[in-house]
Chain A
Amino acid sequence: MSWSRFANILQTRPLDRETKLMLIDLVASVDDPKLEEEIFSFVFAWEEAQAQTQRELVEGIKRITHEYELAQTALNAGNQKATLSIADDLARQKRIDDLRTRITSL
Chain B
Amino acid sequence: MPIRPRTPPSETSPAAPPPDAAPASPPPVEASPAPSADTISDGDLAAALELVKRDGATRESIRRGLGVSRERAASLLAEMEAKGIIGSAPRPGKKREILVTTWPPETAPVQKVDSEISEEVASYASDIIIHLLAGGEPSTEAFERELGLSKDDAETIMASLVNMGVISALTDGKHEVLIKPLTREEFTNTQKKIAGLSWDEIDERVAKREFTVIQVMAIDGMPGSVEKEDESEPSADERNELFNKAVENVIKAGEARLTTLAHGLVLTATQVKDFLAEMEHRGIIGPTRRGKPREILIKTWPAETAPDTKPELAKKTTPILTRAGGAAADLDNTKEAKPAPAEPPPAESTPPETPPAEPSPEETPPETPPTPPAPPETPHATPERSKWESITAGFRGAFDRFASKFRGEVQASDEKEYKASWGDVAKNAATGFLSVAASYTGVKILADLPQWLYQKYWTNPAERQRIKDALAAKETELGETTEPTAIDQKKAKLEEAINASKFLTKEKKAELLAKLHTTVEEYEAKDKTLRTERNEKIAKLLDQAIETRIKNTQILKEGLNSALMVTGLSAMRGVAYGAVAVYERHQEVMTSPERRMQYWKEMTYRGFTETAHNLIGGKADTWTGKGMNFVKGATNVLRAAGFADLAIAEWTTEGRSFSSVIETSLKAWEDKGAAAGWENIKAPWERLGHLGEYAKSAVTGSEPAPGATPETSGGAAGGGAPGSPEAATAAGTAGAAGVAAAESAPHVEVPEAQIEAGLVKKGDGILKILERQGVEGKSALEAAREAGIVRAAGDTRLTTEAIGRLSVFAEAKPEGGIEIKFFDTETDKVLTLAEAREAGFTYESGTVPGELATESEVAAHVAETAEILKDSADVPNDLLGGTFHLYADAEGNFTSIDVGDGDTLTRMKEALQELTRQGHGDSPEAKFIFEQYRQLLLTTEGAQVDDATPPPEGVEQATQRVTEQRTAESETSADGEPLRRFKGEAGKVKFVYDKETGAVKDAFLPAYTPGKAEISSSLREWGLTTKQVRNHFFEGSARTHMDGTAIDTSHAERYPEPNPTESRAGFPIQSPENDYRQLTREVTKLSRQESLLQEMEENGYRSTPEYARLKMETEQLERTLSRQMDRQFHIKERPI
Contacts and interface: CB of A to CB of B under 8 A. Distances in A.
A98 B658 CA distance: 96
Interface in B680-736: 684, 687-688, 691-692, 694-696, 699-700, 716-717, 721-723, 727, 731
Contacts of B441: 61, 65
B557 A7 contact: no
A62 B700 CA distance: 35
A87 B496 CA distance: 11
B366 to A, nearest CB: 48
Given A17-B580, A29-B624, A75 B526 contact: yes
A31 to B, nearest CB: 5
Given A14-B431, A75-B526, A93-B508, A22 B552 contact: no
Given A4-B838, A52-B739, A75-B530, A29 B504 contact: no
Contacts of B533: 68
Contacts of B612: 25, 28-29
A55 B40 CA distance: 62
Contact of A29 (B569, B632, B721, B827): B569
Contacts of B429: 14
B573 interface: yes
Contacts of B512: 86, 89-90
B530 A71 contact: yes
B600 interface: yes
B745 interface: yes
A25 B573 contact: yes
A19 B560 contact: yes
Given A1-B699, A48-B691, A17 B519 contact: no
Contacts of B549: 14, 50, 53
B613 interface: yes
A1 B827 CA distance: 12
Given A17-B420, A55-B745, A38 B542 contact: no
Nearest to B502: A97
Contact of A22 (B557, B625, B747): B557
A13 B612 CA distance: 25
A43 B556 contact: yes
Given A56-B722, A96-B503, A18 B572 contact: no
B561 A45 contact: no
B557 A57 contact: no
A100 B626 CA distance: 101
A30 B699 contact: no
B576 A25 contact: yes
A56 B436 CA distance: 12
A47 to B, nearest CB: 9
Contacts of A65: 440-441, 534
Contacts of B577: 21
A16 B722 contact: no
Interface string A1-37: 1111101100101111111111111101111100101
Contact of A52 (B487, B522, B742): B742
B580 A20 contact: yes
Helix, strand, loop or mixed for chain A's interface? Answer: helix
Contacts, number: 264
A64 to B, nearest CB: 5
Given A14-B549, A18-B557, A93-B503, A38 B696 contact: yes
A35 to B, nearest CB: 5
A88 B898 CA distance: 72
Nearest to B824: A4
B560 A22 contact: yes
B559 A32 contact: no
Place the interface of chain B in its size category.
35 or more
Nearest to A33: B93
Given A14-B549, A21-B573, A75 B420 contact: no
Given A4-B838, A89-B512, A17 B418 contact: yes
Contacts of B526: 75
B696 A93 contact: no
Interface in A46-95: 46, 48-62, 64-65, 67-68, 71-72, 75-76, 78-79, 82-83, 86-87, 89-90, 93-94
Interface stretch (B62-70, B601-609, B979-987): B601-609
Contacts of A4: 597, 835, 838-839
Residue in B612, B695, B739 with the greatest tally of chain A CB atoms within 10 Å: B695
Contacts of A21: 418, 573, 576-577, 580
A24 B530 contact: no
A40 B636 CA distance: 14
Contacts of A50: 549, 552-553
B817 interface: no
Given A18-B420, A30-B624, A48 B722 contact: no
A3 to B, nearest CB: 6
A61 B538 contact: yes
Contacts of B504: 90, 93
B961 to A, nearest CB: 48
A97 B1009 CA distance: 85
Contact of A61 (B440, B519, B601): B440
B497 interface: yes
B515 to A, nearest CB: 6
Contacts of A29: 567, 569, 572, 612-613, 615-616, 624
Given A64-B537, A75-B523, A45 B572 contact: no
B563 interface: yes
Contacts of B501: 90, 93-94
A60 B571 CA distance: 43
Nearest to A35: B628
A79 B459 CA distance: 41
A46 B433 CA distance: 16
B498 interface: yes
Contact of A60 (B503, B722, B835): B722
Nearest to B748: A51
Contacts of B570: 25
Nearest to B632: A38
Contact of B486 (A13, A25, A30, A76): A76
A41 B580 contact: no
A73 to B, nearest CB: 11
B552 A86 contact: no
B519 A46 contact: no
A29 B616 CA distance: 8
Given A16-B425, A45-B688, A31 B419 contact: no
Contacts of A96: 503
Contacts of A97: 502-503
Nearest to B91: A31
Given A16-B428, A25-B564, A29-B612, A48 B743 contact: yes
5 nearest interchain CB pairs?
A56-B722, A16-B420, A14-B432, A14-B428, A18-B420
8 contacts: A16-B424, A16-B557, A29-B569, A48-B742, A55-B742, A57-B433, A90-B494, A93-B501
Interface of A: 1-5, 7-8, 11, 13-26, 28-32, 35, 37-46, 48-62, 64-65, 67-68, 71-72, 75-76, 78-79, 82-83, 86-87, 89-90, 93-94, 96-97
Interface of B: 94, 418-420, 424-425, 428-429, 431-433, 436-437, 440-441, 486-487, 490-491, 494, 497-498, 501-504, 508, 512, 515-516, 519-520, 522-523, 526-527, 530-531, 533-534, 537-538, 541-542, 545, 548-549, 552-553, 555-557, 559-561, 563-564, 567, 569-570, 572-573, 576-577, 579-580, 587, 597, 600-601, 605, 608-609, 612-613, 615-616, 620, 624-625, 628, 631-632, 636, 684, 687-688, 691-692, 694-696, 699-700, 716-717, 721-723, 727, 731, 738-739, 742-743, 745, 747, 827, 829, 835, 838-839
Given A28-B608, A90-B503, 12 more contacts: A3-B601, A16-B424, A23-B560, A28-B613, A39-B563, A40-B699, A42-B692, A46-B552, A52-B691, A57-B433, A82-B519, A89-B515
